[in-house]
């Protein structure tokens, strides 16, 4: 590998509130499973691990700090990966519930959805019938009539929390208006460079997973944010690796993981998060790009360091 090759950060989102346990037997649920999946993903090349939690008995999405604790300390003991805690949780959770884990652990990074939106996962309920738990189909179907709420006041609350704990953000932008909102906060001085945008494509209610949409979002970010930002790309479902590859070619970083897609581009079910990381890594290295280590990611994103996390 060329020593001068551009370094690409791989983020792995190992579990989440979008997909339910029934949809894949490989989705990590318990704290031990999440910890093992995270360490395996880090060993495969992921510099950042994006984390949600689940109730270990029911698999239901959880924002209980104690559920996070079961894997946070374990991952940190076995890996130097950057731990990124979601502040999104699920659309059914009120803001303070969603923020509890980040307040507790003061991580190096948190995710921040840059606006309220229709976050429609209800079409997934039509594809399955053999549910393991009653809540699974109900949670998906509820998104037909629930808005994921992140008002301007909510965003400012999250920004203040991050500042208090010296955390930086993965700014999740699902559509053009979210980029405009981030530009507003940059002008107001409430966010500081280097900003890290995660362009999220393929969620019903946001921008579809197309190259045209990615180019449009990046062009507007260039106009609004200039050289004050870096970006990453994730695409939900089958377009996960193809769209991420386009983003890498455009100069960005990438996110993969079973939160965003349960399948590989060939249609096979992904057997692990590490398998997706390995597939993405092969593509990037074949393109002549290098994989950023956790400490290289920390340097690029001006993170505070693992030793300053409250664990």
Q: 129-185: per-residue pLDDT in tens? A: 888 888 999 999 999 999 999 999 999 999 999 999 999 999 999 999 999 999 999
* DSSP character string of 37-101: HHHHHHHHT-SEEEE-EE-TTT--EE--HHHHHHHHHHHHHH--PEEEE-S---TTS-HHHHHHH
Confidence of residue 224 (pLDDT cuts 50, 70, 90): very high
- Mean per-residue pLDDT for 112-120? 97
What is the arithmetic mean of pLDDT over 222-242? 97
3 pLDDT above the threshold of 80: no
Domain ranges in the chain are 7-308
Q: What pLDDT does residue 162 have?
A: 96
* Rounded Cα gap, residues 240 and 41, in angstroms: 16
Structure tokens at 79: 């890996």
Tokens of 175: 């559509």
- 18 pLDDT band, cuts 50/70/90, is confident
- Tell me the average pLDDT across 276-285: 97
Label residues 155-190 b or e (16+ Cβ within 10 Å = b): bebbbebbeebebbbbbbbbbeebbebbbebbeeee
In this prediction the pTM is 0.97
Residues 49-77: what's their mean pLDDT? 96
| Element containing residue 11 per DSSP (H, E) | strand 10-13
Give the CATH fold of the 7-308 domain: TIM Barrel (3.20.20)
- Residue 86 phi/psi, 5-degree rounding, is -65, 140
* Three-state DSSP state, 136: helix
Residue pLDDT, tens place only, 32-58: 999 999 999 999 999 999 999 999 999
Q: What share of the chain is helix, strand, coil (3-state, %, to 5)?
A: 45, 20, 40
Region label for 186, one of left (φ > 0), alpha (ψ between -120 and 50) or beta (otherwise):
alpha
Under the banding of pLDDT at 50, 70 and 90, the label for residue 186 is very high
Residue 232 or residue 16, greater confidence? 232
Q: Is the dihedral of CA 218, 219, 221, 225 positive or negative?
A: positive
- Joined together, the tokens standing for residue 187 give 């002008």
Per-residue pLDDT band at 255 (split at 50, 70, 90):
very high
Residue corresponding to tokens 């993170």: 303
pLDDT given for residue 1 in this prediction? 57
Determine the pLDDT at residue 116: 98
Percent of the chain predicted with pLDDT > 90: 89
132 versus 75: the higher-pLDDT residue is 75
């Amino acid at each position: 590998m060329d020593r001068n090759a551009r370094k690409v950060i791989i983020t792995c989102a190992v579990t989440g509130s979008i997909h339910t346990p029934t949809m894949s037997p490989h989705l990590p649920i318990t704290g031990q499973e999440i910890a093992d999946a995270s360490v395996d993903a880090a060993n495969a090349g992921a510099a950042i691990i994006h984390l949600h939690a689940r109730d270990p008995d029911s698999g239901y999405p959880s924002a209980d700090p104690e559920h996070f604790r079961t894997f946070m300390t374990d991952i940190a003991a076995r890996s130097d990966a950057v731990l990124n805690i979601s502040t999104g949780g699920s659309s059914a959770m009120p803001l303070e519930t969603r923020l509890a884990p980040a307040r507790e652990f003061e991580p190096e990074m948190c995710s921040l959805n840059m606006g309220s939106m229709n976050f429609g996962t209800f079409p997934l309920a039509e594809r399955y019938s053999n549910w393991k738990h009653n809540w699974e189909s109900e949670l998906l179907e509820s998104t037909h009539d629930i808005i994921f709420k992140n008002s301007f006041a909510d965003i400012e609350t999250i920004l203040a929390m991050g500042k208090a704990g010296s955390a930086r953000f993965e700014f999740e932008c699902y559509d053009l208006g979210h980029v405009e909102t981030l530009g507003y906060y940059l002008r107001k001085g409430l966010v500081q460079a280097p900003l890290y945008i995660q362009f999220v494509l393929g969620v019903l209610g946001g921008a579809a997973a197309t190259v045209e949409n990615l180019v449009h979002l990046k062009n507007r970010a260039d106009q609004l944010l200039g050289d004050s930002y870096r970006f990453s790309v994730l695409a939900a479902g089958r377009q996960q690796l193809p769209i991420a590859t386009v983003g890498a070619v455009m100069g960005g970083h990438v996110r993969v993981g079973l939160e965003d897609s349960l399948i590989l581009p060939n249609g096979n079910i992904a057997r692990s998060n590490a398998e997706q990381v390995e597939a993405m890594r092969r593509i990037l290295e074949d393109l002549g790009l290098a994989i950023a280590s956790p400490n290289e990611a920390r340097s690029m994103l001006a993170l505070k360091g693992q030793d300053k996390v409250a664990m």
